[in-house]
């Protein structure tokens, strides 16, 4: 899950490493761009809210 914490020496999944490299560590511009490309379904918006509240 997204909230899993990794111990020292554990490598992050490749897709998270890629996202960090592409965005310079800030996911906001990438998420904004994706949201501008297509309309989110209400269920997707609710899930994003849940994720943000957990973080």
Which spans in the chain are helix H?
14-23, 28-37, 42-54
> What are the residue boundaries of the structural domains of the chain, listed by start?
27-55
13-41 confidence digits (pLDDT tens)? 999 899 889 889 898 888 888 889 999 89
The residue assigned the tokens 């997707």 is 44
- Provide the pLDDT for residue 8: 62
């Amino acid at each position: 899950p997204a909230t899993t914490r990794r111990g020292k020496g554990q490598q992050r999944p490749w897709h998270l490493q890629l996202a960090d490299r592409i965005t310079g560590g800030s996911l906001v511009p990438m998420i904004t761009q994706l949201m501008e490309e297509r309309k989110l379904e209400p269920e997707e918006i609710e899930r994003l809210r849940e994720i943000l509240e957990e973080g």
